[in-house]
Amino acid sequence: MKVIKKIVFPIISAFLLVKTIELIKELIAHDPQKLALIWAFLLCLYITGIFAFLGFAYATHQLLPRRYFTLNNPRRLQRAYRSLGVKHFKKMLLWVFWGRHKNRQKYFDGSRKGLNNFVYQTKQSEVGHATAFITILGVSLLLLLHGRVVVFVGMSIINIIGNLYPVILQRYHRLRIERLIKRAPYFRAEVSVNN
């Protein structure tokens, strides 16, 4: 199954990249008017999908230096988490998808070894959402330069909720895991948050 993922998922990413480029060209050439929010949603979905499928197939977090994952200012992260209401986003995710025991088990099975997998998954998710966030921001600014204000606003809102909130949530998860490791030294030998 892993070999198939390593072949098929990059093909899906490439397909989404082609569709993204086509859609950007179309939006620059023609003002979508009434369907602007639908096109904004599709564009965000395609771009996020490009990075998500690559992350499903490969350890994309390894492309970034280890220091990227170091939480240098935990208080700022906690303030962002509280002030942006990320806990409500987390509750919504639990209610819609992650609330099912089977889905949660894929990321954390309750064991010390499972904690390492959870850290890995948070890094993978964060990198996918962070790269999508930056890419969507750039594309939305390009479309704004071409006068596509409604598309820009729609993409910005979707991007904040669909990509920025998950980045903050994943970093917050690792902050909590770091605290757990400090309180329970027997985790230290098996779990590494910053590697």
Q: Give pLDDT tens digits for 87-110.
A: 999 888 878 776 666 666 666 666
Query: 76 by DSSP, 3-state: which?
Result: helix
Angle at 112 between CA 172 and CA 72, to 5 degrees: 30
Say yes or no to pLDDT of 176 above 70.
Answer: yes
Distance CA 56, CA 58 (A): 6
Q: What's this model's pTM, rounded to 2 decimal places?
A: 0.87
CA atoms of 118 and 192, how far apart (whole Å)? 11
In this prediction, residue 32 carries a pLDDT of 85
pLDDT at 114: 74
pLDDT value, residue 187: 57
Which of 9, 14, 15, 1 is closest to 54 using CA atoms? Answer: 9
Radius of gyration of the chain (CA): 18
State how far the Cα of 59 lies from the Cα of 57, in Å rounded to an integer.
7
Query: pLDDT by residue (tens digit) across 50-92?
Result: 999 999 999 999 999 989 998 889 999 999 999 999 999 988 8
Assess contact for 14 and 129: CB atoms under 8 A: no
Averaged confidence pLDDT in the chain: 88
Nearest-angstrom CA–CA distance, 15 and 1: 21
Residue 126: name the closest of 162, 158, 90, 167 by CA: 167
pLDDT above 70 covers what percent of the chain? 86
Residue 180: closest CA among 136, 115, 89: 115
